[in-house]
Amino acid sequence: MKKLFWLIVLLPGLVKAQSGSEILVLDLKVKKGSVSASNPVNATRHPGYDNQPHFHPQLPLLYYASFNEDGRSDIRAFNLKTKTTSNITTTAEREYSPTVTPDRQFLSCIIQRDNGAQDLGKYPIDGGEPQVLINNLTVGYHVWLDNSHVALFVLGEPQTLHYLQLPTRQDTILASGIGRSLHRIPGERALSFVWKKAENDWRIMRFDPEKNTVSEIAVTLPGREDLAWTADGKILMSDGTKLFFYDTRSNGKNWMEAGIPPTPELRGITRLAVNAKGDKLAVVVAE
Greater model confidence, 25 or 263: 25
Contact 220, 255 (CB under 8 A): no
Q: What is the mean pLDDT of residues 66-79?
A: 95
pLDDT in tens, 154-181: 999 999 999 999 999 999 999 999 999 9
All structural domains of the chain: 20-286 (2.120.10.30)
Q: What is the mean pLDDT of residues 264-274?
A: 95
Q: In what order do the strands lie in the sheet with 2-3?
A: 2-3, 213-219, 201-208, 191-198, 183-184
pLDDT in tens, 4-29: 333 333 222 333 456 799 999 999 99
Contact 222, 210 (CB under 8 A): no
pLDDT in tens, 180-204: 999 999 999 999 999 999 999 999 9
**Residue 38 pLDDT > 50, yes or no?**
yes
User: What pLDDT is stored for residue 12 in this prediction?
Assistant: 27
User: What pLDDT is stored for residue 5 in this prediction?
Assistant: 35
Residue 218: what residue type?
A
Q: What is the mean pLDDT of residues 102-120?
A: 97
pLDDT in tens, 197-231: 999 999 999 999 999 999 999 999 999 999 999 99
SS3 assignment, position 133: strand
What are residue 156's phi and psi, to 5 degrees?
165, -170
Burial of 166 (0-12, 13-18, 19+ CB in 10 A): middle
